Amino acid sequence: MEKTLPPIPVKRYFTIGEVGELCGVKPHVLRYWEQEFTQLRPMKRRGNRRYYQHHEVLMIRRIRDLLYDQGFTISGARNKLQELVQGERDRRKAGEVPLEGVEAIEIDQEEFDATIVEDSPASAAVQTADLSQLLHLRRELFEIRELLTVGR
């Protein structure tokens, strides 16, 4: 069942169909998982349409890995996710750097604002989008690291 999942595009919201394709599960499975995993809360709009954010897509991939690849039950996967979340909170409280040997992306707002070119009105929006992409990438790297340490 080892199937390579497509890369997650850089965008803010994903429909349930897009998430299903990105994670290799059907939409009805995603709706069921919402009931079973309290951490999974997509935004709902008109007509109860679900919109998932990047971190939720990563969580769904983690749930899929726990259930399909590692053989956890729903209850076991739920407990494992809670352990991972609590472990991450504990590490942050202790002030640990989640990625050894890699500098965390720190943003000095004044320095960031100073780099904006004044004569280009679109410049600020472009740089903000680049910053957003970097932060998404950083979060995804943390998730990957967590997945890799789970198997040890």
In a domain, 123, yes or no: yes
Residue 1 lies in a domain: no
Residue 23 lies inside a defined structural domain of this protein: yes
Q: What is the 3-state secondary structure (H, E, C) of the chain?
A: CCCCCCCCCCCCCEEHHHHHHHHCCCHHHHHHHHHHCCCCCCEEEHHHEEEECHHHHHHHHHHHHHHHHCCCCHHHHHHHHHHHHHHHHHHHHCCCCCCCCCCCCCCCHHHHHHCCCCCCCCHHHHHHHHHHHHHHHHHHHHHHHHHHHHCC
- pTM greater than 0.75: no
Tell me, yes or no, whether 4 lies in a domain. Answer: no
Per-residue pLDDT tens digits of the chain, which is 152 residues long: 456 899 999 999 999 999 999 999 999 999 999 999 988 999 999 898 999 999 999 999 999 999 999 999 999 999 998 898 888 888 888 876 555 434 444 444 444 444 444 444 555 555 566 777 788 788 888 888 777 776 55
Q: For position 97, what pLDDT does the model report? A: 55
Give the domain extent around 98. 14-150
7 within a domain of the structure (yes/no): no
Q: What CATH number does the domain containing 80 carry?
A: 1.10.1660.10
pLDDT of residue 43: 94
User: In the prediction, which pLDDT does 117 show?
Assistant: 44
Q: How many domains does the chain have?
A: 1
Query: Within a domain: residue 142?
Result: yes
Q: Is residue 130 part of a domain?
A: yes
